Amino acid sequence: MTHISSQEHPQEIIFKKLCDHLSVIYPHRDGKSLAKRLMHTMRLDEDCQSPLPHKNLWDETDVMVITYGNTILSEKQHPLKALHHFLKTHFTMLINSVHILPFFPYSSDDGFAVINYKRVDPALGDWNDILRISTDFHLMADLVINHCSSLHRWFRNFQEGKSPGRDYFITASPDEDLSNVVRPRTTPLLRAVPRGDGCEYVWCTFSHDQIDLNFHNPQVLLEIVHIVRFYLDMGVRIFRLDAVAFLWKKIGTSCINLEETHEIIRLLRTLIEHADPNAVIITETNIPMRENLSYFGNANEAHCIYNFPLPPLLVNTLVSGNCRHLNSWLMGMPPTRNGTTYLNFIASHDGIGLRPAEGLLSEEEQEVLIQTMENFGGQVSWRALDDGSRKPYEINISLFDAMKGTTAGEDRWQMERFICAHAIMLALEGIPAFYLHSLVGTTNDYARMEAHGHNRAINRRQWQESELNAKLADPDSHHHKVFYRLRRLIQLRREQPAFHPNAAQFALQLGEQIFAFWRQSMNRRQNIFCLNNISDERQTVPLSSINLVGADRWKDLIGDQIFEDMLGTIELKPYQTLWITNRW
């Protein structure tokens, strides 16, 4: 590796880092020439900043909302304006970051088959709307770089043998052994397309409308870096690298999590953080836990990774009434280094992924979970295996409906179970991210699912702003109850140093019906003991079992109860959460 002197100019340091990255990605090419072109594309040859190593770019006040650009509709204005108005009306001083799912022109997959990376879908609004949102919230946008739409100009040029695009896509022969390739879908991997006087087969990891880009060609990397620079100029601060685990392909391998993929992420990190030291990279890698953790690298890849095991484990815990697996997972989670953290979520535009639960839940337990979710109106999406068979990939259901009951059936604890799930998410190490539909208690949208013809649409409802506002204002509406109870929990979380995303976290062993952990602020002054009854029966916990220090006065932040008798007990109602702290 190139030696870097502390006396060197920042541009020289970046140049050498880029050359190191490129020597791994393209060992047989001229890395120096390409490094200069990358720096010029990012304008780092004009100006650059030096990021502080291991700096936390977040604190306990950071809370994110995930939404489509057209989740909120209005007859008076474009969807992005309606969304901005809704966010400012309801979430000011509550949510400070927003992930707007792909807002570009697209041909399928609700935005993830991008036709033009540099345009805002006219049906949503324009770049001025995006810039306005970015002035009020930290904006996260998707960098959909594994593939593009079959309607993208690059792919049309590929078919016609023209540039740019002629060599931007991966081709393979159906006769090659592709049996090791890991797939998240059941469609055939290769798509036959006419080209010139013949036919070629292009690689399609996700669908035949999503054609995988060929990063073996450095020009593709340059195109993506140009897009990154443009997004920075348009107010994007947080980059979500969509489906990035599949980026590099090598025949004879699984084509997932390859070393070149990791090195491309490191290269993007180098470019982005020197252009804006406050920018953040988040990798979206819906894969088993150990593989997912690898995307932190040596604190030189993703700043944040999605905590993908949390949704299936937490839902399983609450419908089974047993936290054994969730507790084991928590004990096995490595603490994050400064400068890295987890993005915690329990609902999103996709389903409840089952791959991250592999090795954590048995097949029998997954089958019970799937059957329970189907009983509550959920659907199942599948992925293909090497032998041509299929396996459950995710459960598609709104989180509010997923909490209708337990494995025994529906019951009266839906609301309490739903709030408990979010109280756990809010208290865990990492940054909490709420799907907008969870914040307002949206239920399964069967009509949208049938109209769109795919299971994920069940949890992608579009609300008329006036209708949703009316429901949020109605005290008898479950939407109102969900929103205001979650609002209070978020406000409490934002005031606690012990809930900093990098504050210490320790699992507590209080039985299989109490999921408990201890958080401690980075200056060690505040402790919070988080106790969650994950069952439909009352539970009693001796105060002595959680080692409260007698010299301090302890209080439950949520219920305001004061604890003075250290030899007493705590009684938790079904699905009740306590945040017991010595500083309030």
pLDDT in tens, 463-511: 999 999 999 999 999 999 999 999 999 999 999 999 999 999 999 999 9
Nearest residue to 345 (alpha-carbon basis) of 430, 419, 432 = 432
Indicate the domain borders of the chain: 504-581
Ramachandran class of 544: left when φ > 0, alpha when ψ lies in -120 to 50, beta otherwise: alpha
Angle at 37 between CA 31 and CA 38, to 5 degrees: 85
Q: Evaluate if residue 551 carries a pLDDT over 90.
A: no
Which helix (H) or strand (E) element contains residue 462?
A: none
Q: Evaluate if residue 4 carries a pLDDT over 70.
A: no
Say what the pLDDT of residue 366 is.
Answer: 96
Which helix (H) or strand (E) element contains residue 540?
A: strand 539-542
242 noted as active-site residue: yes
Say what the pLDDT of residue 387 is.
Answer: 78
Adjacent-strand bridge partners of 142: 240
Angle between helices 10-25 and 259-275 (to 10 degrees): 160
Q: Report the pLDDT averaged over residues 434-453.
A: 97
Nearest residue to 401 (alpha-carbon basis) of 429, 421, 384 = 421
Q: What's the chain's average pLDDT?
A: 95
**Using CB atoms within 10 A of its CB, is residue 93 exposed (0-12), middle (13-18) or buried (19+)?**
exposed
Report d(CA 308, CA 289) in Å as an integer.
Answer: 7
3-state helix, strand, coil in the chain (%, to 5): 35, 20, 45
Q: Which CATH class is domain 504-581?
A: mainly beta
Q: Which of 121, 142, 209, 242 is catalytic?
A: 242
**212 SS3 class:** strand
Report d(CA 285, CA 289) in Å as an integer.
Answer: 10
pTM for the full predicted model: 0.96
Residue-wise pLDDT for 383-428, tens only, equals: 888 777 889 999 999 999 999 999 999 999 999 999 999 999 999 9
